[in-house]
Amino acid sequence: SIIYHIKVVFMKIDLTKMIYNGLYKLPIKGKIVIPNDMLINTSIKEITPVKVEGFIYNNDSDYELDIRINGVMTLLCARTLKKVNRPFDIQIDEIIDENSDNSLEIIQNSLDIFPIVWQNILVDVPLRVLAPDAKEELTSGNGWRLITEDTNEEVIDPRLAKLKDYIKE
């Protein structure tokens, strides 16, 4: 069994060796540098080059992508707005069907898997992160206090307290 290492350029995988040599799988190994303009409408402020490792399998009418991606994304702390580094490690198992309209296109025997990688990174972004040195949440302050569902006391707004006199029970 001959294993070919494919060159990943902008995450375009050359499937020629797989198609013409009848290979069942090809290893994928490389790094993706995410351009800064891709981060504009996301909560990601910075991202390290994304390490990509795995295989692509040829299953007659479709391809199966089995890769692991990892790196570090920088997000802002929800309390302090400090930068927080959050590592990610994502396993991607994707079927790419040549006959389906929903899949990625295979153009001139090459497949660009960047959209799959980018989509999985965006799905992994948490709604909020906290810096390790962020102080505990404040539960009260000048003229206010936090009321949760666990608080069993009935709180009446003093501005509306006089309305209680008009309600007859």
Q: Is this prediction's pTM over 0.85?
A: no
Q: What is the arithmetic mean of pLDDT over 42-57?
A: 94
Enumerate the β-bridge partners of residue 85: 74
91 neighbors 11 (Cβ within 8 angstroms): no
- Three-class SS state of 20: helix
**Torsion sign over Cα 29, 33, 39, 43:** positive
- Alpha-carbon span 54 to 47, nearest angstrom: 21
User: In this predicted model, what pLDDT tens digit does every residue of 51-96 receive, in sequence order?
Assistant: 999 998 887 778 888 999 999 999 999 888 899 999 999 999 988 8
120 neighbors 88 (Cβ within 8 angstroms): no
User: In this predicted model, what pLDDT tens digit does every residue of 106-131 receive, in sequence order?
Assistant: 677 778 888 889 999 999 999 989 88
- Alpha-carbon span 58 to 11, nearest angstrom: 18
